[in-house]
Structure 1
Amino acid sequence: MNDLASKNGFQTGQPASAITGQLLGIGTDRLTDLKDEKNSLADVISGLLSAADDRSRDKLRALEGELKAHSATITVVGQVKAGKTSVINVLTGHPGFLPSDVNPWTSVVTTVHVNKPAPRGNIKASFQFFERDEWERLMRGGGRLGEMAKRAGASDEMERIEAQLLDVRRKSQERLGRNFELLLGQTHNYDRADTQLIERYVCMGDPDAIDAEFSKQGRFADLTRAADLYMSLPQYPFPFSLQDTPGVNDPFLMREQITLRCVRNSELCIMVLSAAQALNTVDLALIRLLSTLDRRQLIIFVNRIDELERPAEQVEEIRASLNATLQRHGIGSVTDIVFGSAKWAEAALTGRPGDLPEAGQAALLDWARVANVPREATDPCESIWHLSGMPALIRAIGDRVAEGSPHRLMQKVRRDLKNVVSQSYASILGEGGPTGGIDRVNLSEAEVQGRVKAIVASLQAELHQDSQEILAELRARLGAASEQFVETTVAAMIRHIEVYGIEGQWECDPMRLRVQLRAAYMGFARSIRAVAQRVLGRAADEMTGVYHGLLGEPGRTLRLEPPMVPQIPAPVAIGKTIVVDLQGGWWKRWIKLRRGAQAFAAEYRTLIANEAQTIVAEIEEQQVAVVEAALRRALQEFLDEHAQTLTGIAKAGGVTQAGLRSAVGADRYAELRKQLEAAAALLDADLRAASA
């Protein structure tokens, strides 16, 4: 790093166009492994297409489509001005591409799809407007929280927000006229994606100059709900989508609800924090969100260390403070905490490190004293890129993504391929005659249907009984946690009022409730996962038994793989804002309207119980119900698929109809059997390696 310390160290380096591709590829090893793994499975599918029957061929093409369409979804959240948009721009190699001028009133989720094909043609940018009912909820004072806050006495805050929103709507209608109503629910698609276009849909501009901004024709940020952008970056070997969220601390909940929905459906969450704050004074909304996630789903990127005077010393101090804050709120340690600077990364990508301010250069040199930069990084821009933390962030993304949905997808594809091979093998055996099949099947069509019907009834009954027991236990734990929180909080409030009166400082901290609710949900997740593994495993064994009974001894080598257990999402509902999260003067005003601590306690107990119940209800409706439905669907689809194959073989009765035998001879049958057996052996080895 001595070259950076030299006078000219910040002025040298490769041209920006030459170095950008080189820099983005650093740290992508795990993503390359994923690409190789996906290509290997694609080759297996391609080879099997020629050996499969018509039904199996359709299944193979569907699996091929799943592999091609899949990308890991990564949600980026963070404090205002923490630099999350700048981080996304740097990760895509386009500094300044996404505008960071997002007004607090907008609710735009901007997603950059990297190496993922657009749904239609050559679309590069797609912008979706709010549906009419979404806009109406926004205008009704923020939905549930607004109504609760009004009943609790916080109406003045809500009235101020409503006045702002009404002003936004009035100016939107003045600018757009009758098009205002027509635009709701629409989508605008473009064959280009540039900063100027994006600004029209996601930026309302400086709120202090809102009148001037609204006067510009063609701005739609007040109506835009989501923006999807598509770009090709060959430096990244595996496709992914980066979601830039508007925030989770919006009093009227629209942005929070959208962000929580993004997190619920994403593979990974990158929390961008500012080094100057790093959860010391961060909005509690971020803490709430962190507390709902599995630590393997989370990467924390502490940005803006270029603003520290002594990053070589201060980074470790910030790390210790950050870990202490996470421990204090019951989150625990996070595996991936990366420190860096989007500004340094921009300087490296543009090849203009000399444009960094003097303070930023001094911080860079100080950080270079302790940071780990590979010896082979001889170009100053490459060294600065390492110091910016981006290679470490990309590497962490690859590690987390490799453990997530791509891994689950490829495991699912392997199991499905193994079952397609088994089905194709069974169909060949069922073709009958001297071509290598069996002379006749051992079960009639009615007997197969009877056995399958009994298996379906038994498994569905088992799943229903076990899931209901687990759900009853979950409801009991959720209810107990809620009741305990209400009672202890009310008791503490009464003691506080009796000792200090209503003038004392009081804050209700619902984090304790959230920790208990999360523990209850994770217990449910473990239990339902165990039930799913047992029931789906039994489904595979039972249906394998029907194949054996149908085909006799020639089919004894055939064995089905159980379907994958559905993914159980993080309980992000726990992280949403409830009225007791609001710490403002309205508490004292509300208390003053009550006569005495005991009179206050009854209403307070009702208020807090209702709020706790909203979390419990959302966990059941949006988390538990989704998991249960996915499990039932996985079981039913597996049983239906193999029931069709078994019934088809039994119906043929060992005499070919219009299948393989009519098209090829005995030699080809033998070749197909060898091909299927080879594919089965390869998939078996892959499955054993993946499970190990």
Structure 2
Amino acid sequence: MSELSRRELIRIAEDMNEISNDETRHFISRIVDDLSKLKPSIAFVGQIKAGKSRLINGFTGQAGYLPSDVNPWTTVITDMHFGHPSGRTSGAEFHFFDNRQWKALIAEGEELRNMFPDDEDSYKREMIEEQVEAMKTRARLRLGESYEQLLGQRHDLEELTSEDLARYVCAGDDPADDGERDPGSDRGLYSDITRKAEVFFEIGHFPFPVTVTDTPGVNDPLLIREEISRQYLKESDFFVVVLSAHQALSRADLKLFRLMQALELGQIVVFINRVDELGGGAEDADKVKADVVEGLENALGNSEIDVLVGSAQWAHYALTGDESGIDHDQVLAWLRAHPEQMNQYLSGVQEIKQGPGPISREAILRYAAMIASGLPDLRHHVTQALANGPRSEQMRMAWQHLNGFAQGDLERSTARLRALDEERADDPSAIEGNKKLAELKTLIAEKSESITKDMDNVLANLRGVMDDTVSEAVSTVVRGSDGNSPLLSRDGETELNFGPLRERMRELVQGATQVIRQRMLSELYAVDMQSNSALRALPGWKEPVDNRMNTSAVRWFRPDTTALTRGITVELRVTWLSRLISRRSVVNRAERMIVQEFEMIGDDLIDTARGDLLDRMQTVVDHYLALLAGHLEHRAGPNGGNARAEAQQAVDRARRIVDELGSVLGPDRFEALHAEAAE
């Protein structure tokens, strides 16, 4: 399900919240909160020196953000939020340990180690306790008197530089080594007490909000850093296990995989990094990949973990232009050995060439390096897996709950409306009101028919007068007032002037519709008087304030005479030769054709006026009937009319919500997605 679907579900849920009862509102609020925070997390884990930081830079498109020339760089969990639900897109928050959290770190580590004990684990607890104490000591030396005040607190920076980041997550120099420490450097100043770093970015090239996490390496000489990585495994939805092509699937790697399997963690993909450092290129990389796949099968049994290969170094060059250690021939050879990536590269180059301006050789080389790096494939693999996995599942569950509430609300509101109608059907006042409304409808229908018949009589008379006027005026113009037709003039081409005829036709239609309008208003006024008289005869009737018929739609009617601006196609210019051959036939033919044209204009004027008048009369009548029905419903009981109106609104609102939910994820679409997830 798309990001647009998630936002639409949130909007619908918020609408539902406004009309729900307290119990339902509490549950829907939780759904809104869960959907708002729906931000899958992707953790990069693996041994130190596997190139995780540079790989993350390429994966996120944040070139050089996590420095990779410092080893080890990361000593704490670093969450990189892309499109955070809060809307924040810059800066960072750094959360500090307190004594309780340090103790929990040791205790939870003991639980994880007991799952897969080995000879080394027997002394790890003692070493980790010592290292935690060493961290506290270093922090006291670095921070001095502020150490105690900082525990359990956090720092919030609106903007973040690489120097800022280094103060919180870089190992830094040992403060005890006064001779070696740079007095002007505060790298690692807070790192020993920093529990977690959260950094905020725009959503970038991700299709939906995600969190990418950089973890301290496993198999770290400093066991506390390894312990932090292992314990964070339970916090993520997806894992990218980074292996080095030089030492893929070591004993420590296999132990990590077994632990992840035992914890029944989310989806996993393996990325074998640093293939650019293999002497045999693609051939060696294929062998390494095959060994990793076989090793996972043997160690885990029936492993379905996907294995991808690539180079964070090539991605670094593609993003920065830094050619250090880059062999372009090696990159192109890699693409030739991988047809799918080669096709992706060639298609991309064609697209780039269609853009504005010339394309440089460097741009082509950098694009080739990015495709060969495998990072676009990794990003596509991860986002697709997340979209079809936990993210989609959470959205489907939210939709199911919301749809259940909406369907229930529709059933309840429909039942309520039906019950009110049944109650009103047995209510003497309602029965009497319905009977009176039916009588008034009959009265109004009869009056409407009478008004229409009278209008048609007036318009029929107008049509006859209009035709006579047209025939007389056209004959006068075409034949000439003195008997000499302008069409037979020897002066050449002649224009016929029908301006006076057009004006006379306008006067005729305006006069006739004025008569109709006055008669219609008089009849409607009579209907209003009869209706109100009948209503006053009802027992207990109270005169409402707005019981008068609103006839403004008829009162302000003016006929549409735009048809009179239409040109006459036979206002023709007759050639001298035609005049010479048959003088009388030219005049007769022109007169006949012009009369037909003006008669059609007259018909259009009359038909348009009739249609407009009927529409306006119907508008007045419909509004008046609705007004009467409302007054009679209100009379059915102290809250009878209001209750039914409110019940109808509730039904309409519930049906709208059900329809909107169906458009986000209807039954057919839901079943298809459910089948996809099952596969």
Q: Using the alignment, how far apart are the partners of 2:639 and 2:208 within structure 1?
A: 41
Q: Which amino acid aligns with 2:348?
A: A
Q: Using the alignment, how far apart are the partners of 2:112 and 2:265 within structure 1?
A: 29
**Distance 1:155-1:667 versus aligned 2 partners, 3 A rule:** closer
Q: Which amino acid aligns with 1:182?
A: Q
Match of 1:675 among 647, 656, 664: 656
Q: Using the alignment, how far apart are the partners of 2:40 and 2:423 within structure 1?
A: 45
Q: Using the alignment, how far apart are the partners of 1:291 and 1:145 within structure 2?
A: 13
1:393 paired residue number:
378
Match of 2:98 among 131, 154, 162: 131
CA contact (8 A) 1:101 1:203 kept: no
CA contact (8 A) 2:138 2:175 kept: no
Q: Using the alignment, how far apart are the partners of 1:34 and 1:269 within structure 2?
A: 21
**Distance 1:257-1:38 versus aligned 2 partners, 3 A rule:** same
**Distance 1:175-1:391 versus aligned 2 partners, 3 A rule:** closer
* Per-residue deviation, residues 344-364 of structure 1 (Å, max 9, x unmatched): 1121122x26x1425x43432
In structure 2, stretches of 5+ residues that fail to align are 350-363, 426-636
Of 56-65 and 409-418, the range deviating more from structure 2: 56-65
Q: Using the alignment, how far apart are the partners of 2:657 and 2:131 within structure 1?
A: 66
Q: Using the alignment, how far apart are the partners of 1:74 and 1:40 within structure 2?
A: 25
Q: Using the alignment, how far apart are the partners of 1:281 and 1:403 within structure 2?
A: 32
CA contact (8 A) 1:204 1:210 kept: no
Match of 1:345 among 303, 315, 325: 315
Q: Using the alignment, how far apart are the partners of 1:63 and 1:140 within structure 2?
A: 33
2:46 paired residue number:
78
**Distance 1:345-1:134 versus aligned 2 partners, 3 A rule:** same
TM-superposed CA distance for 1:267, in Å, is 0.9
Per the normalisation by structure 1, the TM-score is: 0.55
Q: Using the alignment, how far apart are the partners of 1:660 and 1:73 within structure 2?
A: 54
| Matched residue SS, 1:376 | helix
TM-superposed CA distance for 1:433, in Å, is 6.4
* Per-residue deviation, residues 126-182 of structure 1 (Å, max 9, x unmatched): 11111213435779998689999xx99999888777766655443432232222222
CA contact (8 A) 2:53 2:67 kept: yes
1:99 paired residue number:
67
Match of 2:152 among 180, 185, 191: 185
> How is 1:233-248 mapped onto 2 (pairs within 5 angstroms)?
233-248=203-218
* Per-residue deviation, residues 470-518 of structure 1 (Å, max 9, x unmatched): xxxxxxxxxxxxxxxxxxxxxxxxxxxxxxxxxxxxxxxxxxxxxxxxx
1:689 paired residue number:
672
Match of 1:415 among 383, 400, 403: 400
**Distance 1:158-1:668 versus aligned 2 partners, 3 A rule:** closer
CA contact (8 A) 1:310 1:367 kept: no
| Matched residue SS, 2:2 | helix
- 1:309 partnered with 2:279: yes
> How is 1:59-208 mapped onto 2 (pairs within 5 angstroms)?
60=28, 62-100=30-68, 107-118=75-86, 124-135=91-102, 166-205=133-172
2:193 paired residue number:
223
CA contact (8 A) 2:318 2:366 kept: yes
CA contact (8 A) 2:75 2:170 kept: no
**Distance 1:436-1:390 versus aligned 2 partners, 3 A rule:** farther
CA contact (8 A) 2:334 2:372 kept: yes
CA contact (8 A) 1:205 1:213 kept: no
TM-superposed CA distance for 1:188, in Å, is 1.0
CA contact (8 A) 2:82 2:89 kept: no
CA contact (8 A) 1:107 1:255 kept: yes
Q: Which amino acid aligns with 1:108?
A: V
* Per-residue deviation, residues 314-361 of structure 1 (Å, max 9, x unmatched): 1110111111211221244444211111111121122x26x1425x43
Identical residues among aligned pairs (%) = 30
The structure that has the greater radius of gyration is 2
TM-superposed CA distance for 1:208, in Å, is 11
**Distance 1:162-1:239 versus aligned 2 partners, 3 A rule:** closer
Q: Which amino acid aligns with 2:406?
A: V
* Per-residue deviation, residues 590-644 of structure 1 (Å, max 9, x unmatched): xxxxxxxxxxxxxxxxxxxxxxxxxxxxxxxxxxxxxxxxxxxxxxxxxxxxxxx
Which fold has the larger relative contact order, with Cα–Cα distance below 8 Å and residues 6 or more apart in sequence?
Answer: 1
Q: Using the alignment, how far apart are the partners of 2:124 and 2:648 within structure 1?
A: 81
**Distance 1:283-1:72 versus aligned 2 partners, 3 A rule:** closer
| Matched residue SS, 1:219 | coil
1:37 paired residue number:
5
**Distance 1:436-1:324 versus aligned 2 partners, 3 A rule:** farther
Q: Using the alignment, how far apart are the partners of 2:194 and 2:161 within structure 1?
A: 17
Per the normalisation by structure 2, the TM-score is: 0.56
| Matched residue SS, 2:191 | coil
TM-superposed CA distance for 1:294, in Å, is 5.9
Q: Report the aligned-residue RMSD.
A: 4.4
CA contact (8 A) 1:53 1:660 kept: no
- 1:428 partnered with 2:413: yes
**Distance 1:115-1:660 versus aligned 2 partners, 3 A rule:** farther
TM-superposed CA distance for 1:659, in Å, is 13
TM-superposed CA distance for 1:241, in Å, is 0.6
Q: Using the alignment, how far apart are the partners of 1:356 and 1:304 within structure 2?
A: 14
**Distance 1:302-1:232 versus aligned 2 partners, 3 A rule:** same
Match of 2:234 among 259, 264, 270: 264
**Distance 1:328-1:671 versus aligned 2 partners, 3 A rule:** closer
Of 270-279 and 216-225, the range deviating more from structure 2: 216-225
**Distance 1:408-1:436 versus aligned 2 partners, 3 A rule:** farther
2:246 paired residue number:
276
CA contact (8 A) 1:103 1:205 kept: no
CA contact (8 A) 2:269 2:307 kept: yes
In structure 1, stretches of 5+ residues that fail to align are 1-32, 441-655
Q: Which amino acid aligns with 1:93?
A: G
Q: Which amino acid aligns with 2:55?
A: V
* Per-residue deviation, residues 230-270 of structure 1 (Å, max 9, x unmatched): 11134222011111111334588644443334222311111
| Matched residue SS, 1:328 | helix
| Matched residue SS, 1:329 | helix
Q: Using the alignment, how far apart are the partners of 1:657 and 1:258 within structure 2?
A: 69
**Distance 1:658-1:254 versus aligned 2 partners, 3 A rule:** farther
Q: Which amino acid aligns with 1:405?
A: P
CA contact (8 A) 2:36 2:85 kept: no
Q: Which amino acid aligns with 2:77?
A: V
TM-superposed CA distance for 1:368, in Å, is 2.0
CA contact (8 A) 1:295 1:335 kept: no
Q: Using the alignment, how far apart are the partners of 2:207 and 2:26 within structure 1?
A: 28
